[in-house]
């Protein structure tokens, strides 16, 4: 990506009615991990679209969008909401925009992307809320596609990880199908609709997107638009430590590159990131979609999330991942998901989780723990 100017010349309109041909293609897709600890998927009422334009002089990524979404799985009504929908606003209120500006980013927030509730959204086989999730994912995919074709880098703030269906699909469509995905998570989220133990789409998201799994995905209502868009060889997982047997089989059968916490412990995070970059760039350098679940971080540090798993990444490891991906110059979109303020038992736990989420995003867009200074800075003369 080449450098661009610091300001956007237009506003992304999320009210456009035209549909691109790629969105209309009749294909089925994949789902997300179904941990029984987590809230079931339900109808989406809002995807907060916080579109932020970032000017980052020290990077080749100059103009970016941040799209905040509380997930393609939402809740039927306010009384049913599980807390994950509050994540984006807590990240906002923690000063994300101001801190991005302080490190040289020009930021503009365009607000929230909203979805309609879907009544009578009966399960399709094991899959819960397929119509709501499929419809919301399509809307998000169109927004991300538009942002990318307009020359921006979207960042989706969730929300649960089912939003990756729309974000990665839209990103891949804009990239012409040439895309690498780095999935940082405690969970693989690659159950198919036929292997899911709970039916929650947030445990199946990757399966709808992987080309090699297309034949294993049954037809689902409101999912026919999804075209598998990522090859197994272009995916890297980091931080896994709670993988279902069926997911383990899929990962091994497809030869997907995985750095579980066992590998992180054994190799160290520097070696993991070196091998990640060597692996992804061995064929060709493709744009990177970073999909980052806050539960990748150890719950002692980031407890306000829906499916915490002990033994996760340290703060330093979690931030190092973003710094190294940023330095490739190929980071093209980011999901930051699963911050759930209602899962923190104290305000301190919520604040700790939110602050780490903010720091993850700052690392994605140029912050260095060794310090930064503005491009072109000169010491004042006496």
What are the pLDDT digits (tens) for 58-99?
222 222 355 655 444 333 223 334 788 888 889 989 999 888
Q: Which two tokens stand for residue 258?
A: 């995985």
Given a cut of 50, is residue 14 above it in pLDDT?
no
Nearest-angstrom CA–CA distance, 70 and 48: 6
User: What are φ and ψ of residue 286, in 5° steps?
Assistant: -110, 155
**Average pLDDT of every residue of the chain:** 81
Cβ(309)–Cβ(299) below 8 Å? yes
- The verdict on whether 359 is a catalytic residue reads no
Catalytic residue among 142, 152, 202, 222: 202
Nearest-angstrom CA–CA distance, 271 and 139: 38
φ/ψ region of 342 (left if φ > 0, alpha if ψ in -120 to 50, else beta) reads: alpha
Catalytic residue among 41, 121, 160, 293: 293
- The verdict on whether 189 is a catalytic residue reads yes
Catalytic residue among 185, 263, 317, 335: 185
pLDDT of residue 249: 98
Nearest-angstrom CA–CA distance, 174 and 180: 13
Cis upstream peptide for 25 (omega within 30°): no
Cβ(339)–Cβ(305) below 8 Å? yes
Given a cut of 80, is residue 34 above it in pLDDT?
no
| pLDDT 10s digits, 195-242 | 999 999 999 999 999 999 999 999 999 999 999 999 999 999 999 999
Residues of the chain above pLDDT 90, percent: 62
Q: Which residue has the tokens 């020009």?
A: 106
| pLDDT 10s digits, 158-184 | 889 999 999 999 999 999 989 999 999
Catalytic residue among 142, 161, 171, 222: 161
Nearest-angstrom CA–CA distance, 89 and 158: 10
Q: Which two tokens stand for residue 117?
A: 């509730």
Mean pLDDT of the 237-251 span: 98
- pLDDT tier, 379 (very low <50, low <70, confident <90, very high otherwise): very high
Catalytic residue among 234, 295, 298, 335: 295
pLDDT of residue 100: 83
Q: Where are the alpha helices (DSSP H) in 36-194?
A: 87-93, 96-102, 130-149, 164-174
- The verdict on whether 202 is a catalytic residue reads yes
Catalytic residue among 34, 39, 86, 338: 338
Question: Among 119-128, 229-238, 268-277, 292-301, where is mean pLDDT lowest?
Answer: 119-128
Given a cut of 80, is residue 113 above it in pLDDT?
no
Catalytic residue among 187, 247, 263, 289: 187
Q: What is the pTM of this model?
A: 0.83
Question: Among 20-34, 268-282, 293-307, 328-342, where is mean pLDDT lowest?
Answer: 20-34
Cα angle for residues 160, 165, 166 (degrees, 5° grid): 100
Nearest-angstrom CA–CA distance, 41 and 187: 17
Nearest-angstrom CA–CA distance, 360 and 319: 6
Mean pLDDT of the 335-349 span: 95
């Amino acid at each position: 990506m080449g450098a661009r100017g610091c300001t956007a010349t237009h506003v992304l309109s999320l009210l456009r009615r035209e549909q691109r041909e790629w969105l209309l293609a009749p294909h089925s897709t994949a789902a997300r991990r179904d941990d029984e600890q987590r809230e079931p998927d339900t109808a989406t009422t809002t995807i907060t679209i916080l579109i932020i334009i970032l000017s980052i002089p020290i990077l080749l990524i100059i103009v970016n969008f941040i799209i905040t979404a509380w997930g393609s799985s939402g809740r039927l009504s306010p009384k049913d909401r599980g807390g994950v929908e509050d994540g984006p606003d807590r990240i906002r209120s923690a000063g994300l925009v101001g801190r991005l500006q302080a490190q040289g980013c020009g930021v503009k927030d365009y607000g929230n992307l909203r979805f309609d509730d879907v009544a009578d959204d009966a399960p399709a086989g094991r899959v819960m809320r397929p119509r709501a999730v499929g419809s919301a994912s399509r809307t998000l995919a169109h927004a991300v596609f538009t942002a990318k074709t307009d020359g921006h880098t979207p960042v989706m703030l969730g929300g649960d990880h089912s939003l990756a269906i729309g974000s990665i699909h839209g990103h891949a469509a804009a990239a012409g199908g040439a895309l690498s995905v780095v999935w940082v998570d405690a969970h693989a989220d690659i159950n198919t609709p036929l292997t899911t133990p709970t039916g929650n789409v947030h445990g199946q998201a990757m399966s709808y997107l992987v080309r090699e799994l297309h034949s294993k995905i049954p037809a689902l209502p409101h999912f026919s638009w999804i075209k598998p868009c990522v090859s197994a060889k272009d995916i890297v997982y980091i931080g896994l430590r709670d993988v279902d047997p069926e997911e383990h089989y899929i990962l091994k059968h497809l030869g997907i590159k995985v750095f579980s916490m066992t590998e992180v412990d054994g190799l160290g995070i520097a070696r993991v990131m070196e091998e990640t970059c060597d692996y992804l760039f061995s064929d060709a350098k493709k744009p990177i979609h970073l999909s980052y679940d806050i539960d990748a971080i150890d719950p002692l540090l980031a407890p306000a999330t829906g499916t915490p798993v002990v033994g996760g990444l340290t703060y330093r490891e979690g931030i190092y991942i973003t710094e190294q991906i940023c330095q490739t110059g190929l980071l093209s979109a980011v999901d930051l998901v699963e911050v759930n303020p209602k899962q923190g038992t104290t305000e301190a736990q919520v604040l700790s989780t939110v602050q780490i989420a903010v720091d993850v995003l700052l690392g994605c867009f140029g912050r260095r723990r060794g310090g930064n200074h503005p491009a072109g800075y000169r010491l004042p003369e006496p």
